[in-house]
Structure 1
Amino acid sequence: MSRIGPIGRRPAVLVCAAALALTACSASRGSATGRPAGHVRQASGTAEQTLRLAEQLLIKSCMEKHGYRYWVEQEDGEDGGNSARRFPYVVDDLAWATAHGYGNDLRRERQKEVEHDPNQRYFRSLPADRRTGALSAVNGPRPRGLSARLPTGQLVTHSDQGCTAEAERALYRDLSSWFRATRVTDSLAGLRVGLVLDDRRYRSATGPWSRCMRGKGHTYGSPAEARAAATAPGNEWPHGKEVRLASAEASCARSSGLAAVARTLDAEYRSRLARSRPRETADRARLAREALPRARAVIARTG
């Protein structure tokens, strides 16, 4: 049901549906195509990247012990082309908008990568009984053993067995606390965005932005309306038209002050929400910090 995630983002391993394989159908800031682990065994990069790589290597080793193949998955950037995730309030990076518009080009590339993902191809090649076994091996037999109550009141659960849980336990030791901390703190991100968008200061700042957009020939009341127009499923705009709208949005975000207001509110609500869940916030930081030497050792040992 839920996934156990590396620090800062969800992992690649997940059962999205019975038809999908052992890999990235990430809703949250994507994972990318898989390659044999030997191509990526290095501890360079951020602490988050080091922890994620170590987790992937541990999952790979565990799956092979169960008689299945597994390719270490790569990350393809912060958002996989999802502009709503990269710019939840307003597109404010003019260079990015000029190159990618709202990211439809990157999203299409991502879809192609997923289609050729070796974990996906391998999973689809397995007979039905082996598919069931592979999913059980990676995710555990049933979503029991780990649970967390989100700030929204929703209860999320996951198996405390399987290769994902085994890898997380090896890195973070206190698996129950890590599961609860990551689930709760990750859920705060969605709450934060909603609070910013509903804040009267943000809504007021969209007025000057909208007037700026009208001056450039675009009649949209909010950045969300502009993005929806260019990215509606089945009715995506030609790239040039998409780029022109996104570039206008970014330019107006700066000149109208909307980008600055959004940044200020985001920081304000981020701090406020973290204070509202001090235990989980502290646990996540502590467990990740303590796991980092173990992660480096895993990478060195398997490199």
Structure 2
Amino acid sequence: MLLPTAALLAATVAGCADGTQASRTATPGPGSGTAAGRRVPGDPQEALHLAEQLLIKKCMERRGYRYWVEERPAPGGASRFPYVVDDPAWAARHGYGTDLYRERQQEALRDPNQRYFRSMPADRAPELLSALNGPQPRGISARLPNGITVTHSDRGCVAEAERGLYKDLPAWFRATRVTDSLGGMRVNMVLTDRRYLAAVKPWARCMRAKGHPYPTPAEARAAATRPDQEWPHAREVRLASAEAACAGSGDLSAVAKSLDTAYRAELRRRHPGPTADLDRLRREALPRARAIVAGGD
């Protein structure tokens, strides 16, 4: 999520139906040097992410700009627990994760990419963004299952890095955007499934018994994370801990996980091309990514 006060430098990763580009905040990690001497992450997704970042950095420096490598963002509370908070230890520490969100806000204010962008003369800032994201959101596109077409520039350092790593940039764009949209569809399918709704009812009774009369986990989370009414952390933790306890005392968590698995498989069957392409492109790119990170590119 872009922060209004700090989201000045953004790497474009998705297009919008009206042709405007959507962005993500650049959140650099501790390493911003050359690839030589870096340890190759064991996690394939970490290796792919780091390699892409190093390619972006190399491209930006070749164009006369600085760029700091960004870490792969950790999942927030909503993405970690889309159906119900069911980890008591996590809830006792983070509640619904607003503490982590505030930490990311502070990190964004200290982000060297953001500071660098803010230091640019006004007439050069658009040039920097164009170098990073491409001049216009044109060149590659993908039609999502809901019928919306998203677009992205096939120029700029983000596109150059993805092309260098995955080779087939249009296929990579289509595969990532379609599978991302399938994730949102899957969550909605679970939340509206009659089996999930049936499992929510005893969870809600458990919550009422604990003094928290929220009919669904989504409404409990919304109450604790309203942007116009910030809760004290201790209060948020109490509510999230009650939610986790009630999830553990019934079958809501198990039902949600079972449905999530089933709908994930169903959507893969219904949309085999993009999911298969994504797996293939990642698999083929992994040796290149490891070579890039190790300095062998």
* TM-score, with structure 2 as normaliser: 0.90
How much does 1:29 deviate? 9.8
Aligned to 2:281: 287
The within-5 A match list for 1:175-254 is 175-254=169-248
Question: 1:33 touches 1:74 (CA, 8 Å); kept in 2?
Answer: yes
CA distance in 2, matches of 1:208, 1:197: 16
Partner in structure 1 of residue 266 of structure 2: 272
Deviation (angstroms), 1:33: 3.8
Instruction: Tell whether the 8 Å contact from 2:142 to 2:174 is kept in structure 1 after alignment.
Output: yes
State the match for 1:107 in structure 2.
101
Q: Is structure 2 residue 36 aligned with structure 1 residue 42?
A: no
Q: Deviations over 1:99-146 (max 9, x none)?
A: 011111111111000111000000011012211111111111111110
Distance 2:167 2:135 in 1: 21
Summarize the Cα distance change of 1:173–1:102 in structure 2 as closer, same or farther, 3 Å threshold: same
Q: Are 1:168 and 2:162 matched, yes or no?
A: yes
The aligned counterpart of 1:20 is 8
Q: What residue is the counterpart of 2:114 in the other structure?
A: 120
Structure 1 residue 75 displacement after superposition: 2.9
Deviations 1:203-258 (A, max 9, x none): 11110000111111111100011111111112121111111110000010111110
Offset of residue 23 of structure 1: 5.2
Structure 1 residues 63 and 31 mapped into 2: Cα distance closer, same or farther (>3 Å)? closer
- Matched residues in 2 for 1:46 and 1:193: separation? 25
Distance 1:96 1:56 in 2: 30
Structure 1 residues not aligned, in runs of 5+: 1-11
Instruction: Give the aligned residue type for 1:241.
Output: R
Structure 2, unaligned runs of 5 or more:
15-21
Q: What is the SS of the residue equivalent to 1:146? A: strand
Checking the alignment, whether the CA contact within 8 Å between 2:10 and 2:25 is kept in structure 1 is no
- Residues in 2 aligned to 1:279 and 1:93: alpha-carbon distance in whole angstroms: 35
Residue identity opposite 2:65 in structure 1? Y
**Cα pair distance change 1:31/1:102, threshold 3 Å:** farther
Aligned positions, number: 288
Separation of aligned partners in 2, 1:19 and 1:268: 37
Q: CA RMSD in A?
A: 2.6
Aligned to 1:73: 70
Q: Is the CA contact (8 Å cut-off) linking 2:9 and 2:114 kept in structure 1?
A: yes
Q: Structure 1 residues 42, 85: CA separation in 2 closer, same or farther (over 3 Å shift)?
A: same
Distance in 1 (alpha carbons) for counterparts of 2:174 and 2:68: 27
Measure, in 2, the Cα distance between the counterparts of 1:39 and 1:101: 38
Q: Cα 1:254–1:39, aligned 2, differ >3 Å: closer, same or farther?
A: farther
Report the CA distance between 1:30 and its aligned residue: 8.0
Q: C-alpha distance in 2, partners of 1:279/1:199?
A: 26
Matched residues, percent identical? Answer: 63
